[in-house]
């Protein structure tokens, strides 16, 4: 039997904490090992209860989520972190991802996406809820004349994230540029690229661009 994923919650709203605990309790391999109503002593708490994933708000009294992430970065991350926030400001998202957060969810989509987010981050992936990911992608490709302006339709072979990656590669963004625009590491970009090539049985970037044109992802 696989060990349970140990989760600590940090938010200054007790109602949200209670709702999250109830929801996560329904998942057999999740265990909520603690919760905090502010950011004080979070580092010590997650170490003492051996937290795997901290789900944390940004706006908290006394010590906010940004300050906690800075402390984690300075001392060494004791666990993975998913930010759960009311805000979807791209500057804020970029800041927390640069500080070492592994995922970002808005509170609007938390109920729908939190389980998926925990599993993804537990597996070593970065995670953004759909609304945040679409906002990031749309900002990265804004006004690009080669992009087909109709909404991208996923053909089910590729994941939504892979569809974004193949689009940016086809628009001649470098791996470094893609990582900066999407707030993910260059290693993650390369992993996605390899997975795309394997799934589509493509040999090189030229064949990848041809696929994107043929499937109306970009204009020829």
Question: In CATH, what number is assigned to the domain containing residue 150?
Answer: 1.10.10.10
pTM metric for this prediction: 0.83
**Do 147 and 121 share a structural domain?**
no
The string over 163-194, giving b where at least 16 C-beta atoms fall within 10 Å of a residue's C-beta and e elsewhere, is bbbbbbbbbebebeebbbbbbbeeebbeebbe
* Sheet-wide strand order for 30-36: 30-36, 5-10, 53-56, 80-85, 103-106, 127-128
Domain boundary among 102, 129, 156: 129
Residues contacting residue 1 through CB under 8 Å, at least 6 positions apart? none
Tens-binned pLDDT, residue by residue, of the chain (220 aa)? 779 999 999 999 999 999 999 999 999 999 999 999 999 999 999 999 999 999 999 999 899 999 999 999 999 999 999 999 998 899 999 899 999 999 999 999 888 899 999 999 999 989 999 889 888 888 888 877 777 665 555 566 888 888 899 999 998 899 999 998 898 889 999 999 999 999 989 888 888 888 888 888 887 6
CA 22, CA 150: separation in Å to the nearest integer? 40
**Do 170 and 105 share a structural domain?**
no
The pLDDT of residue 159: 86
What is the tally of structural domains in the chain?
2
**Do 81 and 166 share a structural domain?**
no
Nearest 5°: the CA angle 125, 131, 134 is: 80
**Do 110 and 179 share a structural domain?**
no
**Do 90 and 58 share a structural domain?**
yes
CA 217, CA 149: separation in Å to the nearest integer? 9
Show the domain range for 174. 141-214
CA 140, CA 15: separation in Å to the nearest integer? 36
Position 220 in a domain = no
Domain boundary among 129, 152, 172: 129
**Do 102 and 13 share a structural domain?**
yes
The answer to whether the CB of 85 falls within 8 A of the CB of 56 is no
Position 219 in a domain = no
**Do 112 and 61 share a structural domain?**
yes
**Do 192 and 125 share a structural domain?**
no
**Do 89 and 159 share a structural domain?**
no
Place of tokens 């041809």: 210
**Do 114 and 41 share a structural domain?**
yes
**Do 70 and 39 share a structural domain?**
yes
Question: How many residues are given for the chain?
Answer: 220
**Do 20 and 115 share a structural domain?**
yes
Q: Is 89 exposed, middle or buried (0-12, 13-18, 19+ CB in 10 A)?
A: exposed
């Amino acid at each position: 039997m696989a060990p349970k994923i140990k989760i600590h919650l940090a938010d200054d709203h007790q109602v949200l904490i209670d709702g999250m605990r109830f929801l996560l309790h329904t998942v057999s391999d999740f265990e909520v090992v603690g919760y905090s109503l502010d950011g004080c002593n979070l580092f010590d708490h997650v170490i003492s209860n051996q937290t795997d994933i901290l789900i944390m708000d940004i706006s908290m009294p006394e010590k906010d989520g940004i300050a906690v992430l800075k402390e984690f970065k300075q001392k060494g991350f004791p666990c993975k972190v998913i930010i759960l926030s009311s805000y979807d400001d791209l500057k804020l998202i970029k800041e927390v991802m640069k500080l070492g957060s592994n995922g970002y969810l808005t509170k609007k989509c938390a109920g729908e996406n939190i389980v998926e987010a925990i599993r993804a981050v537990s597996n070593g992936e970065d995670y953004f809820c759909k609304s945040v990911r679409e906002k990031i992608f749309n900002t990265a490709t804004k006004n690009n004349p080669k992009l087909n302006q109709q909404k991208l339709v996923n053909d089910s072979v590729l994941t939504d994230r892979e569809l974004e990656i193949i689009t940016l590669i086809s628009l001649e963004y470098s791996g470094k540029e893609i990582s900066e625009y999407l707030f993910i590491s260059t290693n993650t970009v390369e992993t996605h690229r390899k997975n795309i090539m394997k799934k589509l049985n493509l040999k090189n970037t030229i064949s990848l661009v041809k696929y994107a044109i043929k499937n109306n992802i970009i204009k020829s």
